[in-house]
Chain A
């Protein structure tokens, strides 16, 4: 078992129940395949530096979890197939720091 971070970029024109469904779907994938979900962060709507598939903005969802190989395979396979996602990235870590949140200030300003 080792620690991982997984970030998803969803399309801009999705409604809020659809976004919640996406968030739930990947939570269930982690928990169903014997993984430990540690934290979920919603970074909210952020603008890209460049256009990605003719989109200027996207919703960011960030997962921190502890899991083995088979959950990683499931998550990567699902996020490639998924049509509502633009991009995804998984990073392996020896230690996770759950305290610092780099995108928290941006959300509060918008509200």
Chain B
């Protein structure tokens, strides 16, 4: 007996397969968090290369709604970025 994978059947496979024109497609907003999961980079105040990606040109912390970082990791990011700012690395 094969089990049906309900996860994949939930979403419409074709983006044009919508009820109305104004309905927003799910696939656009289903972005995974880049800092969680296996083989994720370590968030640390010494890892300046990674922290630079989550800071704007004027050294402000980017909101998670743009970078799609999960809530737990965003809290860690902010604390590490502030530590790096004390040492003048960012």
Contact = CB atoms under 8 A, between A and B. Distances in A.
B90 A49 contact: yes
A89 B87 contact: yes
Nearest to B48: A102
Chain B interface mostly helix, strand, loop or mixed?
loop
Interface string B37-59: 00000101111110000000001
Contact of A89 (B42, B47, B59, B86): B86
Interface string A66-83: 000000000000000000
A94 B7 CA distance: 38
B89 A49 contact: yes
Nearest to A52: B88
Contact of A102 (B47, B83, B90): B47
Interface in A72-111: 87, 89, 91, 100, 102-103
B46 A9 contact: no
B48 A9 contact: no
Given A49-B85, A50-B88, 16 more contacts: A9-B87, A48-B88, A49-B59, A58-B88, A60-B87, A87-B86, A87-B87, A87-B88, A89-B83, A89-B87, A91-B83, A100-B42, A102-B44, A102-B46, A102-B47, A102-B49
Interface of A: 7, 9, 46, 48-50, 52, 58, 60, 87, 89, 91, 100, 102-103
29 contacts: A7-B87, A9-B87, A9-B88, A46-B89, A48-B88, A49-B59, A49-B85, A49-B88, A49-B89, A49-B90, A50-B88, A52-B88, A58-B88, A60-B87, A87-B86, A87-B87, A87-B88, A89-B83, A89-B86, A89-B87, A91-B45, A91-B83, A100-B42, A102-B44, A102-B46, A102-B47, A102-B48, A102-B49, A103-B46
